[in-house]
Each structure stands twice: as C-alpha cells, then as structure tokens.
A and B are shown apart, each in its own frame.
Chain A
C-alpha cells in the first residue's frame, strides 16, 4: 500500500507546499519590518521575530512529511 514512490511525492508535496505558504506569508511581514527598521533601528529584533512567526506552517509540513516517510519504512 505504501509505495515508496508515492510516499516520496507525498512527503515532498507536504513540505514544499507549506514552505511556499510560509514564504507567501512572510513576504509582506518582512517588507513591512524592513520599512519599520529604516525609520527606527531598535525595531530590528521585534521585526525579525514577527517576520519569522509563520515558520509554524513549515514546521507542520515537516512533521507530516516526516510521519509519511516513516510509513515507507
């Protein structure tokens, strides 16, 4: 049932699509963070943290990909 090829495609899609989603999410936040930093240098860390907040999406994708890969073993 768990064909290695399909498993690989599934895992790849899981992490790939969630990475794209995180990228789309972070792009506007990142742009705004850089704009804020240009006016006030102290905002660097807050901006950085807020930009990296959507990393959760990638994380969930990774976890799923990982669990799928375990299926193939």
Chain B
C-alpha cells in the first residue's frame, strides 16, 4: 500500500522457431512488461534488434486502410463491435470491395462540394451587381478604351459632378448594398487616373467582379439560376450522406472488429523489435509482478516446452522498474491524482494512502455544510451511473462529500443556516464568529501535513542515499521547526525553558541544512513558513463559502416578508444563490485541496517520473 507492486526482472531466450508461439502466449498472458533492448545484448556477441515476424507489413497496411475507411464513415475508434474474424486474404478482398464503394461516394461528395463553393463565389459577386441594376453582367468587363469601377463609397456628395469634371466621358450609377452606398462607374480609359483620384477622396473600396464578368445575362436572373443549382447540389450531397450512413451501418461492425483484430496482430508481429536477436536465436527481458512469476513459467512452458530458457535476473538499477500502484479497494480511486500528476518512482513511497486520508479532510474542512454535502453526494452518485469512465474521480468526490457533511455537522451549518426553525444545530465551532480559531486550526493542519511530508521525504532519502543524507536534508527542517516552536513558546511564556534553548536548536537545524544543500539551503528557509501559511486557505475558502451562503439567506429572508411576489423572488434567489455557491464550493475546495497536495505536500518528498507498468497484451 505504501510502495508500488514488487517487480521481478526476468530474462528468457530460445531459438527463433519458438519465437512466434512464445510471443502469442505472452500476449494472452498480459503480465510481462517488456524491457526494450533486452538489457544490452551487444552487437559484438552477434545480436541486433529483432525483425518483425512474417506478415507484419501486410497486416499494417490492411490496418491503415481499415482505419481510414472507418474514419470516412465517421465511426469512432472506441466503439466495440464483434464480428467473425476472417482469414487475411478473405478479409482483405472484402475490405477492398468496401473501399471501392466508400471512396466512390467520397469522390462524388468532394465534387459536389467543389461545385458548391465555385457557385457560391459567383453568387456573392453577383449580389452587389444585382443591387445596381439589370445591366448585363458582361458589360462590367474592361476594354482597352473603357475603364470600369465597381465598389463602395463612403460619401456620395458632389461625386457625380466631380467625375463629370475629371473624366471626358463617364456614366455613373448609384445604388445601395447592405445599407451602404455603392457605385458602378464607366469612363474612358484615358481619364482612369483622374477618376481614381476623385474616388479615393470619396473613400472608394473596390468590389471584386472578375468571375461575374465572365458570365452573361442580368444579375438577378443569373442569381436565381445559381440558387436553383445550389439547392440541387445540396440535396445531392444530402442523398450521398444518407447513402454513406447506410454503408456505415452495413460495414461498421465488420470493419471495427477487423481493425481491433489487426491492431492486436500488429502488436504481436512487431514484438520482436523489442527483443535482441541473432541469426537463429532471440533473447528478451522484462518485468513481471513478483507474485505472478509462476504463471509466466507455466505459460512459457506450454508454449515452447523445454526449448525456452527462463531465468530471473539480479536487479541492479531499481529506479528503472515499471510502477504498478497497489492499493486496497477503498484507496484505489485516489490513484487518479497520481495518474494526473506523475507516477512515483519504483523506490519511492506511494502517496495514494496519504491522499486518501487528507484530500477528503481538506475538502470537507473547506466546504463544511450539511446541505451542500448532501446535494453534492447525490449529484456524484447519479453521475457515477451515467459516466462510468470517470468512476475514480466520482468516487473520490463522493467520499469528499461525506467528509463535507461531517464537517458541516461540526460547524452546524445547513445551507448556511445555523437554526432550522426553532432547532439550533449543534456545533463545535461557528465559522464566522470563531474565524480566528479556524485560522489556528488551518495552520495547525498545515504544520502536521508538512511534517508528514518531511517524514515521508526522510524515508525516501534514507532508502536512496542513506541515513546521513536523510538526517541532514529532511530532519534538519524538523529540528528547525522544533527550535522555532520552543523559542516562540518560551517568549510567550508557555514553556519553562529559556528562549535561547530554542534559538540554539533552530540554529542547529539551519547548520544541518546548509551542510546538506550548501548555501542555497538558506534561501529555502522562508519557504517553510510560506508553505505552512498556505494552509490558511483552508480557512479562507471556507469562510468565503459561508459568508456567501449567509448573504443569500439574508436577502431571501428579507424578501420572504414582502407578500407572494416577494416569496417567489426569495425562492429564485435561494435557488440561484445556493446553486452558484455549490458550484463554487465544488470547484474551489477541489482545486485548492489538490494544489495543497501537489505543491506543499509533494514538494517535501516526491520526485515522481515513474515508468508506468504496461504489460504486453493490455490495450493502452
């Protein structure tokens, strides 16, 4: 429970004739975490990376084609279908036939899409021209002697007169498009520059008509024609979509099942890449949980008889072992936090149990309300049946909700109310009035938690580097804390020892720290104060939640006495106010609790970076 699952390092070797049955047997066993490179079988001894088994390229190719067909049909990877798996040649032929039909539809859809975008481009160019009038579209083309300007202007005042002056021959039409003035101006090519100057004074911005100009006919009529064509194309696309969906229903089961099968085959055929192989033999190494070693022995025996050699290897570098967390059932959901952050190294303490104890504690400390706890408990229990994928997180939150209810009983709060009618809720501590005591309690929790972290760190360093390092690095902090506490107690008159004893002890602690980490250890001194004070957020977040609830209740309470309309308004305020408070109350304590663990707690002892135990044969 405090350490990851104990792993044994095994190595096995045999002739290549037994490689395939061995690989298949290992895949079905689902226990061996293969260590790539077989731990250094070297080239001089004739070994190199093994080659994939026969059939691997074909399987990979079919797998890729099958997956691409599945994605064209819009079927997700996760959906599980089962169908009879057929032999590779038969399946390949069937898949090719499906491919032809699916690709055919995809081609048609693409052609329709291209036509739609082309026609839409034409249509958007025709729109302003239609606003200008019924002039045949081909007239907007430029000639050697005729210049055309079509576009928006910002002001039209005196434009006609100015153009008349600037150009020798001109004709100008005004219209409105999208509530802005636009013009179509035709003039002789010679006056082009002068006209352009006038237009720029009027804020002219050109509208593109290149494509429209190539057509013939009145813009409005052309637009109608395009619209008909567009709706034809859309219905064609819709029909093609329906046909694709039909094909999907027909083929999905077959393709999905085969995709899954080929994935597994591909992994098995590619397994030798993780082995070392010579011309006729192969050698491999891997990790397996200590307690399942005998299963491996019998599986290999069944697969290869006495042709395979299996032995345990001495573990020199323990840090590289893969990590499989092992925790009892109630604690297991909390592994979710370590998955999120990073797995512990094989040699470290597994902090899951600590989180099992303290995460709900902190959450309850902050939320601390019977009513809110009940609501969230109900919410998470309902969600657990709807979202089985998030089972771990939801179980954690259910425990935390129960903790919140317990703390609510201690604080005597029910939706922020201290009294239910005439019945006063019993409490140990009222959060608003006893805020200072709450602050002390929160900091006290901080001191305890940080020191648990230091003790865990002591154990870790003890295991990895020995007693001296452990004492200097971690125990020094504890000594320092003890010294500071004694000095403070003496100063405040609580203890009978002189303050100097405390100072001396603290100084000893500092010296030990400097010895361990050099001068930068001194720079870290303030960090312990900051870390412990950080736990004051337990009180702060809780207080925020309480005060919000109180405010909501007060406002609603006042409205309750203002007649039926007031009562309705009061109910609305209550529902919304407490709803928001619950939402905040879920998010805030969760994040802050998580943060306290990840930052303040883990920083004292956790290194992380462990390799996950991924046995051969288990899907990721």
Question: Which residues of A approach B to under 8 Å, CB–CB?
Answer: 45-46, 48-49, 52-53, 55-56, 59-60, 62-63, 66, 70
Of A45, A55, A70, which one neighbours B537 at CB under 8 angstroms?
Answer: A55
Shortest Cβ distance from A45 into B: residue: B340
Asked whether B540 lies within 8 Å of A63 as measured between CB atoms, the reply is yes
Asked whether B540 lies within 8 Å of A49 as measured between CB atoms, the reply is no
Of A53, A63, A66, A70, which one neighbours B595 at CB under 8 angstroms?
Answer: A53
Tell me if B436 counts as interface (CB < 8 A to partner A). Answer: yes
Asked whether A56 lies within 8 Å of B598 as measured between CB atoms, the reply is no
Given A49-B591, A63-B533, output 14 extra A-B contacts at Cβ < 8 Å: A48-B591, A49-B594, A49-B598, A52-B592, A52-B595, A53-B599, A55-B537, A55-B595, A56-B530, A56-B537, A59-B537, A60-B533, A66-B435, A66-B439
Asked whether A59 lies within 8 Å of B591 as measured between CB atoms, the reply is no
Complex: how many Å from CA A24 to CA B598?
23
Chain B residue contacts of A62, Cβ below 8 A: 536, 540
What's the minimum C-beta distance from A35 to chain B, rounded to whole angstroms? 20
Tell me if B534 counts as interface (CB < 8 A to partner A). Answer: yes
Asked whether A52 lies within 8 Å of B591 as measured between CB atoms, the reply is yes
Chain B residue contacts of A52, Cβ below 8 A: 591-592, 595
Complex: how many Å from CA A24 to CA B130?
52
Q: Hey, what's the 0/1 contact readout for B356-391 against A, CB within 8 Å counting as 1?
A: 000000000000000000000000000000000000
- Contacts A49-B594, A49-B595, A52-B591; A59 near B435 (Cβ below 8 A): no
What's the minimum C-beta distance from A50 to chain B, rounded to whole angstroms? 10
Complex: how many Å from CA A70 to CA B540?
15
Chain B residue contacts of A60, Cβ below 8 A: 533
Number of interface residues of B (CB under 8 A): 17
Shortest Cβ distance from A42 into B: residue: B340
Q: Hey, what's the 0/1 contact readout for B511-540 against A, CB within 8 Å counting as 1?
A: 000000000000000000010011011001
The prevalent SS among residues of B at the interface is helix
Shortest Cβ distance from A70 into B: residue: B436
What's the minimum C-beta distance from B295 to chain A, rounded to whole angstroms? 33
What's the minimum C-beta distance from A51 to chain B, rounded to whole angstroms? 10
What's the minimum C-beta distance from A65 to chain B, rounded to whole angstroms? 10
Asked whether B534 lies within 8 Å of A59 as measured between CB atoms, the reply is yes
Question: Which residues of B approach A to under 8 Å, CB–CB?
Answer: 340-341, 435-436, 439, 530, 533-534, 536-537, 540, 591-592, 594-595, 598-599
A–B complex contacts, Cβ < 8 Å, 13 sampled? A46-B341, A49-B595, A52-B591, A52-B595, A55-B592, A55-B595, A59-B536, A62-B536, A62-B540, A63-B439, A63-B540, A66-B435, A66-B439
Asked whether B534 lies within 8 Å of A56 as measured between CB atoms, the reply is yes
* 4 A-B pairs with the lowest CB-CB distances in the bound complex, closest first: A45-B340, A62-B540, A59-B537, A63-B536
Complex: how many Å from CA A49 to CA B603?
14
Complex: how many Å from CA A63 to CA B439?
9
What's the minimum C-beta distance from B514 to chain A, rounded to whole angstroms? 26
Complex: how many Å from CA A60 to CA B341?
26
Complex: how many Å from CA A63 to CA B442?
12
Chain A residue contacts of B595, Cβ below 8 A: 49, 52-53, 55
Shortest Cβ distance from B435 into A: residue: A66
Complex: how many Å from CA A44 to CA B509?
40
Complex: how many Å from CA A28 to CA B36?
41
Chain B residue contacts of A56, Cβ below 8 A: 530, 534, 537
Complex: how many Å from CA A45 to CA B340?
7
Shortest Cβ distance from B541 into A: residue: A59
Chain A residue contacts of B439, Cβ below 8 A: 63, 66
Chain B residue contacts of A70, Cβ below 8 A: 436
Shortest Cβ distance from B537 into A: residue: A59
Chain A residue contacts of B591, Cβ below 8 A: 48-49, 52
Complex: how many Å from CA A52 to CA B533?
17
What's the minimum C-beta distance from A72 to chain B, rounded to whole angstroms? 14
Complex: how many Å from CA A48 to CA B591?
8
Shortest Cβ distance from B340 into A: residue: A45
What's the minimum C-beta distance from B298 to chain A, rounded to whole angstroms? 38
What's the minimum C-beta distance from B61 to chain A, rounded to whole angstroms? 29
Complex: how many Å from CA A53 to CA B536?
15
Complex: how many Å from CA A66 to CA B594?
24
What's the minimum C-beta distance from B174 to chain A, rounded to whole angstroms? 47
What's the minimum C-beta distance from B436 to chain A, rounded to whole angstroms? 7
Shortest Cβ distance from A59 into B: residue: B537
Complex: how many Å from CA A63 to CA B435?
11
What's the minimum C-beta distance from A25 to chain B, rounded to whole angstroms? 15
Complex: how many Å from CA A27 to CA B591?
17
Asked whether B599 lies within 8 Å of A59 as measured between CB atoms, the reply is no
Complex: how many Å from CA A55 to CA B341?
19
Of B436, B540, B594, B598, which one neighbours A59 at CB under 8 angstroms?
Answer: B540
What's the minimum C-beta distance from B364 to chain A, rounded to whole angstroms? 19
Complex: how many Å from CA A62 to CA B598?
22
- A46, A56, A60 interface centre (most CB from chain B within 10 Å): A56
